[in-house]
């Protein structure tokens, strides 16, 4: 019976982490459908018995990969989320996203979105988990905007949740076009338009 992560020894946790990291890399490179347990075994250096000790089947491994990729995307942004209560902080987050794509030469796109496109129409459990991943992302954005709203920086009727959705949608669309064009310009345009919309909702002279 597969072990739960919280009940593992330190060595078991490291083996599980290595398996999931290898599976995540392979699924990102080759796609979920074309990634086999045998390839994961070879890439991770784990044995088949170790893999099945941690995961009942490939579907369980996919669930773990979704969690792994979500954490990998969101953790570098955590410190930025705390500064999204100003336009300067929002622009810093925008620059982080653009600079990250430059580092990657606009290859790969968003790992969470990649999994979504492959799984959402064929795996209901995965779809729900991925929807939760995007809600986590949106919540990080929303918290900063809500703080801005609470300080009276934004107009009283503004909905922070809606503005967070605008930002996340602009980011995802921009990432897709940046990947296709191997150019950050579409991402810059999309995020700048989203920030301009937020700026138009300022309560002070900058708002319109």
Q: Where in the chain is the domain with CATH 1.10.357.10?
A: 70-199
pLDDT in tens, 129-154: 999 999 999 999 999 999 999 999 99
Is 12 a residue whose pLDDT tops 90?
no
Of 29, 32, 191, give the one whose Cα is nearest residue 100: 191
Reported as half-sphere exposure (CB side, CA atoms, 13 A), residue 29 has a value of 11
Q: What percent of the chain has pLDDT over 90?
A: 92
CATH number corresponding to 70-199: 1.10.357.10
Is 204 a residue whose pLDDT tops 90?
no
Does 1.10.3720.10 match the CATH number of domain 5-56? no
* CA distances to 32, 138, 168, 169 from 165, in Å: 27, 7, 5, 6
Contact predicate 106/182, CB 8 Å: yes
Structure pTM? 0.90
pLDDT in tens, 106-132: 999 999 999 999 999 999 999 999 999
- Count of other CB atoms within 10 angstroms of residue 21: 17
Q: Measured at the alpha carbon of residue 67, what is the angle toward residues 50 and 13, in degrees to the nearest 5?
A: 35
pLDDT in tens, 60-112: 999 999 999 999 999 999 999 999 999 999 999 999 999 999 999 999 999 99
Helices (H), the chain: 10-30, 37-44, 48-54, 58-74, 78-81, 87-103, 111-119, 124-150, 160-181, 185-199
Q: Measured at the alpha carbon of residue 46, what is the angle toward residues 43 and 48, in degrees to the nearest 5?
A: 110
Contact predicate 187/175, CB 8 Å: yes
pLDDT in tens, 165-195: 999 999 999 999 999 999 999 999 999 999 9
Is 11 a residue whose pLDDT tops 60?
yes
Tokens 């969470």 appear where?
Answer: 112
Distance CA 91, CA 30 (A): 34
């Amino acid at each position: 019976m597969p072990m739960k992560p919280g009940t593992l020894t330190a060595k078991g946790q490291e083996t599980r982490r290595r398996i999931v990291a290898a599976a995540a890399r392979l699924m990102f490179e080759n796609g979920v459908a074309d990634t086999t347990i045998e390839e994961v075994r070879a890439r991770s250096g784990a044995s088949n018995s170790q893999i099945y000790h941690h995961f009942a089947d490939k579907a369980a491994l996919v669930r773990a990969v979704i969690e792994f990729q979500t954490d990998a995307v969101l953790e570098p942004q955590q410190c930025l989320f705390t500064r999204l209560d100003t336009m300067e902080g929002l622009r810093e987050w925008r620059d982080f996203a653009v600079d990250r794509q430059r580092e990657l030469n606009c290859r790969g796109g968003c790992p969470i979105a990649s999994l979504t496109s492959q799984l959402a129409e064929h795996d209901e459990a995965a779809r729900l988990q991925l929807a939760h991943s995007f809600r986590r992302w949106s919540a990080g954005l929303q918290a900063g905007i809500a703080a801005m709203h609470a300080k009276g920086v934004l107009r009283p009727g503004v909905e922070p949740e809606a503005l967070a959705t605008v930002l996340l949608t602009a980011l995802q669309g921009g990432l897709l076009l940046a990947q296709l064009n191997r150019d950050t310009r579409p991402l810059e345009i999309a995020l700048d338009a989203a920030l301009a919309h937020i700026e138009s909702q300022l309560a002070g002279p900058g708002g319109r």
